């Protein structure tokens, strides 16, 4: 992660950040991804990045030849976690061919 000056922040520095600074960093990084996907209007509400819809749209944009038909956007947190885990598993098994078992979607 990076701070407001664009400098990389290590894990110890992350522990020292306030919740407001962490949310601002998530919003900044998320909007960088959003912009790279071709969207011009920045996201104002960081809660978007805590839902499955954003990640599903990102993966659909980044990997248009992949099948995402089994994923359905939801408001149920358990199903959101399952959807995000399915995206992580797909990235691990079908794209990177690298074990990402240490990353969990819940």
**Tens-level pLDDT at each residue, the chain (106 residues):** 455 555 555 556 667 888 899 889 989 998 998 888 888 899 999 888 888 988 898 888 888 888 888 889 899 999 999 999 888 888 877 766 656 666 665 5
Same structural domain, 31 and 60:
no
Note whether 65 and 104 are same-domain residues: yes
pTM given for the model = 0.64
Q: Which long-range contacts (CB under 8 A, 24 or more apart) does 57-65 make?
A: 58/33, 59/87, 59/90, 59/91, 61/37, 62/37, 63/90, 63/95
In terms of domains, do 36 and 57 share one?
no
Do 60 and 103 belong together in one domain?
Answer: yes
According to DSSP, residue 2 is labeled B
User: Do 35 and 74 reside in the same domain of the chain?
Assistant: no
Same domain, 38 and 56: no
User: 67 and 36: one domain?
Assistant: no
Write out the residue range of the structural domain in which residue 5 sits.
1-44
CA 92: distance to chain centroid?
A: 15
């Amino acid at each position: 992660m990076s701070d407001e000056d664009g400098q990389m922040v290590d894990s110890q520095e992350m522990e020292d950040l306030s919740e407001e600074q962490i949310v601002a960093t998530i919003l900044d990084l998320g909007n960088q991804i959003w912009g790279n996907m071709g969207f011009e209007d920045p996201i104002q509400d960081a809660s978007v990045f805590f839902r499955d819809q954003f990640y599903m749209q990102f993966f659909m944009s980044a990997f248009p030849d992949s099948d995402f038909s089994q994923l359905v956007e939801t408001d149920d947190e358990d199903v959101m976690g399952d959807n995000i885990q399915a995206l992580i598993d797909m990235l691990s098994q079908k794209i990177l061919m690298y074990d990402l078992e240490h990353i969990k979607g819940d």
